[in-house]
Amino acid sequence: MFKPGHDQSRHRVRCEWGPVGATAIAARLAVVVDVLSFTTTLSVAIERGIEVFPFEWKDSRAAEHALRHRATLAVGRFEALSRRDARHISLSPASMASVEGVERLVLPSPNGSSIAFGLAGTGATVVGACLRNADAVAHWLAPQVLGGASCAVVPAGERWPDGTLRPAVEDLWGAGAVLAGLVDRGVSGLSPEAHVAEQAFRAAHLPDDLVGLASALELIEAGFGDDVAVAADVSVSAVVPVLRGESFVDARS
């Protein structure tokens, strides 16, 4: 399916965009990065002790999946806003910080969650990373990569109105933050694609640069400025969400 070189298999540490990229650079360790949506919300949920089940976006089976796991089904943040019902849990990381009484959550999203769901069962260890927990994830990954494990870092990206992938700089920075953490811990063998992501993160001025991005402006103008602020915090979280079976739990537990 993929042309020679696209799997980046000559390199231990790889980086490629979106669901197709995640398949192309298959590795023992797979890090999914979706900064302004899924993985930041995931990190906040895991901090609150919530077990999170990824699922594909707009899939009619999501409610059944939630029922089977005795979990609450989250909705998109714009859907929650349109319903004007605070009881609906959504992809908003800021609102996730105030969720009470939820132990298990099905959290679909069009990008990060769908990618993680697609990687389940492939044999890879799937990790959720964002700017908030990038250093914690790198700390957890580094001994395994130094021990010889291959690692694929997947910036999820966003979608254009026609459904095609839109590379999103915030996800490049999130991927780069993990990669920079690995390099700082002695990991080498990055592909050129991974090296570019690492250097992009090191060149960014965060949180200020993130606030001006197209994805962030869209959220701010829709009233979700708090989500952008939560997502822009770099390495403030110690959680390492790892997909075990069908759900994400903290690797430290």
Cα 180 to Cα 133: distance, rounded to the nearest angstrom: 13
Model pLDDT for residues 149-158, shown as the tens digit of each residue = 999 999 999 9
41 falls within a domain: yes
Give the type of residue at 114.
Answer: S
Q: What's the mean per-residue pLDDT of the chain?
A: 93
170 falls within a domain: yes
Average pLDDT of span 208-220: 95
Residue 85 has pLDDT above 60, yes or no: no
136 falls within a domain: yes
4 falls within a domain: no
Residue 84 has pLDDT above 60, yes or no: no
Residue 93 has pLDDT above 80, yes or no: yes
Range of the domain at 158: 13-246
202 falls within a domain: yes
Q: What is the CATH number of the domain that holds 115?
A: 3.90.1560.10
List the structure tokens of 64.
Answer: 């059944």
Residue 211 has pLDDT above 70, yes or no: yes
Whole-model pTM: value is 0.94
1 falls within a domain: no
Give the gyration radius of the chain's Cα atoms.
17
Q: Compute how many other C-beta atoms are within 10 angstroms of the C-beta atom of residue 23.
A: 18
- Counting DSSP H helices and E strands in the chain, the numbers are 12, 11
150 falls within a domain: yes
Contacting residues for 89 by C-beta, under 8 A, at least 6 apart: 72, 74, 75, 80, 95, 96, 99, 102, 105
Q: Domain total for the chain?
A: 1
112 falls within a domain: yes
List the structure tokens of 156.
Answer: 């999820």
Helix pair angle (225-232, 214-221), 10° resolution: 140
Burial class (CB in 10 A: 0-12, 13-18, 19+), 10: exposed
Q: How many residues does the chain have?
A: 253
Q: pLDDT-based confidence at 45, cuts 50/70/90?
A: very high
Average pLDDT of span 14-20: 97
Cα 194 to Cα 152: distance, rounded to the nearest angstrom: 9
> Bridge partners of 250?
241
Q: Which residue, 204, 183, 174, is CA-closest to 139? A: 183
Q: pLDDT-based confidence at 166, cuts 50/70/90?
A: very high
